[in-house]
Each structure stands twice: as C-alpha cells, then as structure tokens.
A and B are shown apart, each in its own frame.
Chain A
Amino acid sequence: MKRIEILGKGISKSYNGIDYVFQNLSFEICNGDVFGVFGPNGSGKSTLLKIIARILLPTEGKITIVNEGNEIPFEKQRLLQGLVAPYLVLFEEFNPIEHIKISANILGKDFNAEKANELIDKFGLEDAVAKHIKEFSSGMKQRMKFILALYFEPEILLLDEPFTNLDEKGIQYVEECIKEFQSQGKIVVIATNDKREASLCNKYIRIGKSTANEPDFHPSV
C-alpha cells in the first residue's frame, strides 16, 4: 500500500486577479481519509477539486502530493488519480470498451478487456456495451465516469457531487466503492452539498465567500 498524503498550504484562487473564489485554505489529507469539501454554490468546491487534481493552478499557495515523504510530480500524479464530476465530459464517439482502451493508451497503461467488462457489468452497463456514449442517458454517463475512474485503480479518487444522476442502485454501489477505498487506505475527496454524500466523509473543509479564511479542517463531521 502506498502512503500518499495531499498537503494544501495557503491555497487561494482568483480567476481575474481581483476577486478571490477562496483564500488561504490549508489542509492535510492522509491515507484512508474520505475528505469532504463543503460550501454553498459558487464557493469554489469544484475549483478546489481541480487544484487538488493539479489541472488548475492556484493563484497563491501550493498543493503537494507526497508518497513516502517524496513529492510526486504531475506526470506521475495523473497515473494515481481518478475524477468523477458533472463537468468531466467523456469522448462520446466511442463505446465503453473503446473509451477505456483509448484512455489507457493515452495514460500509458495496459488495457485489460476482462477487467473492463467486469466493471461494466458491476455498474450495469452490460446491455449498452455496443452503444456510443453519446447515446447514453445522464445516469449511464455518470456510471461510465465511475467505470473509467475505477478501471485505473487510482490511489486518489476525486468526486464532485458523485451521486448526481444516479439511481438508488448506482448510489449504493458508489457508497460501497468509497467505503472499500477507505478500507484499502486510499484517499477519496468529495465536493458536495448533499447530506448523504457528506455522511461518508471523516474529515472536511468548509469553504465559502463569507468564510473564505476558514483556518483548517475539522477532525470529523
């Protein structure tokens, strides 16, 4: 098991250089944590998630992903993380298997058809395996995002409103996945306003324009 930590120190983000979405956020996420990012709409939850994924640069402060005390560069971090978010759009011209295969090639990982089919079955997309993703419903696309994220066995799972568009069965399976991740000592970060999603977290940070300078996370919900 890898000992991965996410350290955020003095993180601030401004898109125009004048108004800050949030300022001076500091946090520490360790192995086995399900870390919640809570706050009202527009408070910057998704922005913080993108900064943790290092696909968005913070205006101030630094995010460090550490493995056994050594900082992981972004080139390696992308191999360790998975993202499921409403604003993550899949390559819709492909069917699920083609999508996983092409993503694996881009990521530089091996493709395993058996593993891909297993996940597709688990998420109930076995009847849609020949369909292009553009023909999927919103719920099926959300399931496909989970399949893609979980296929690469990430050490860090970043979830933005993970239950969006999922039915009860889908929600239950995602809950199981998150608990399994936690028991395996992996990291899950959830940006949410939903009480059910929030109840899965053992740590959280609350962000919002009115309380942008919140000093630190609280040890438990």
Chain B
Amino acid sequence: MKGFLAVAYKDLQIEFRNRYTLTTTILFTLISTTIVNFSIPSNLIQTQVYSGMLWIVIFFASMTGMMRAFVSEEEKGTTLLLKMLSTPYAVFFGKFLFNLLISILVNLTSILMFMLFFDKISIKYFHLFALTMLVAGIGIAGCSTIIGAIVSRANVKGALFPILSLPILIPLLMVGIEATQFSIVGKDLKLILQDNIVIFAYSGLLITLSSLLFEFVWKE
C-alpha cells in the first residue's frame, strides 16, 4: 500500500524539479485553447462545438504529458532501479496516481481556459460537469499508464502513444462528450448520471485489467 504512494511521491518530486510534464501539458492547453478562441468567435460557438473542442484539447494535452511517466524512466535508464526496489503492482498504481494528478491538472486548466475565453456559455449542472471530468480523468490516467508502459520501449513512442490510446479511449470519449454537452445545457439529468456510471465502470474495468497485465509488460 505504501509502496505505490512512494513511487508517486518520487515522480512528483522529480516533476517539481524538472517541470517537463507540467510545462508541456499546461502550455499545450493554453496554446490550443487560444487558437480555438481565435478561430471561433465566442459569440458564435455552440454547446456541441464547445464540448467537442474541450475534449479535443483534453485528449491531446493528456497524450502529450502522460506518456512521460514510463518513457522518462526508460530514457534515463532508471527502470532497472525501480524494478529492484518496487513490485510491479506498486509501480503501476504509483504511475497511475501520478497520471491521475496530471489528468486532473489538465482538465482543470482546460476548463478554466474555456470558461475564460467562452464566457457566454454557462454550465447549468456544474457539479455533474465536474464529476464527468473527474471520472473521465480516472479513465484517461488508467489508459495512459498501461499504454505508456507498453510504448516506453518502442522507438516511435510519440506517434505510437495516441494511436494505441485512441481505440481504448473512444467509448469513454463518446460517453464523456455526451455527458459534458448535457450538463452544459442542463438536459436529461438521468442520462448524465448514467453516462457517468458508464465512464466509471469502464475506467474501473480498464484499471483492473491493466494492473493484472502490467506484470507481463514490466518484466522482460
């Protein structure tokens, strides 16, 4: 139990010192949101477009940052030390926790930027909107952790990561976009809750299966 917290703490300490993931994801979010703002005037943007654009920014910002959890260990050569010190279980959940924190940060930054630029759109069910973002963040972090571990040893990591992640995240993105749209317009409370349950269940399944498979990815 303590081991995975220590792995996540180690990653956070390293991240606070070199700030690679934080800088990359936050800058990506800021730049992409600014471009969306310039390309679509805020008075013309519709809820569907707003929701879609928000998810595009979240998806690609996550893909940019979350791959680093395993790739940086592989690039620096510290994987062996981590294997000596930790169990596969602790590594998986430590990296998952780190990715989850990054995911929450990406989602928060994206939402704040969208609210700032597109202030004409108000979110009717903000609590459900926030819930969708949180449970979707759990799913994205779970997917990024296992795919990050798989691609960390590949030569074309940057290209492979979003390609492998997208098919796994499609169900989550489809339901997430719908729940986001409905919570913005304040429509069909029951459906939003159902969507959140679907995202949560899918994320749970994804994380459980990934943690079981991780040992085979981790051990050579």
Chain A residues proximal to chain B, CB less than 8 Å = 53, 55-57, 74-75, 78, 81, 83, 85, 87-94, 98, 102-103, 105-108
Contact = CB atoms under 8 A, between A and B. Distances in A.
Interface string B44-85: 000000000000000000000000000000001110111111
Given A93-B14, A106-B85, A106-B86, 10 more contacts: A55-B84, A55-B219, A78-B86, A85-B80, A90-B78, A91-B14, A102-B10, A107-B85, A107-B86, A108-B2
Contacts of A92: 76
Contacts of B81: 88-91, 103
A78 B87 contact: yes
Contacts of A85: 80
B3 interface: yes
B13 interface: yes
A103 B18 contact: no
Nearest to A85: B80
Contacts of B9: 102, 105
Given A102-B10, A106-B7, A108-B3, A89 B77 contact: yes
24 contacts: A55-B84, A56-B219, A78-B84, A78-B86, A78-B87, A83-B80, A88-B81, A89-B78, A89-B80, A91-B78, A93-B13, A94-B13, A103-B81, A105-B2, A105-B10, A106-B6, A106-B7, A106-B10, A106-B82, A106-B85, A106-B86, A107-B85, A108-B2, A108-B3
Q: Taking each of A85, A91, A92, which has the highest tally of chain B beta carbons within 10 Å of its own beta carbon?
A: A91
A154 B14 CA distance: 27
Interface residues of B, number: 24
Contacts of B14: 91, 93
A75 B83 contact: no
Nearest to B83: A55
A103 B84 CA distance: 10
A102 B85 CA distance: 10
A170 to B, nearest CB: 20
A78 B86 CA distance: 8
A94 B78 CA distance: 13
Contacts of B83: 55
Nearest to B86: A106
B79 to A, nearest CB: 8
Interface in B7-44: 7, 9-10, 13-14, 17-18
B90 A102 contact: no
A151 to B, nearest CB: 12
A75 B87 contact: yes
A191 to B, nearest CB: 14
Interface string B82-120: 111111001000000000000000000000000000000
A102 B77 contact: no
B220 interface: yes
A12 to B, nearest CB: 15
Nearest to A74: B87
Contacts of B219: 55-57
A55 B82 CA distance: 10
For the complex of A and B, 4 pairs with smallest distance between CB atoms: A89-B77, A105-B6, A106-B6, A106-B85
Contact of A93 (B6, B7, B17, B220): B17
B6 A102 contact: yes
A192 B2 CA distance: 36
A91 to B, nearest CB: 6
A115 to B, nearest CB: 17
A85 B80 CA distance: 10
Contacts of B7: 106
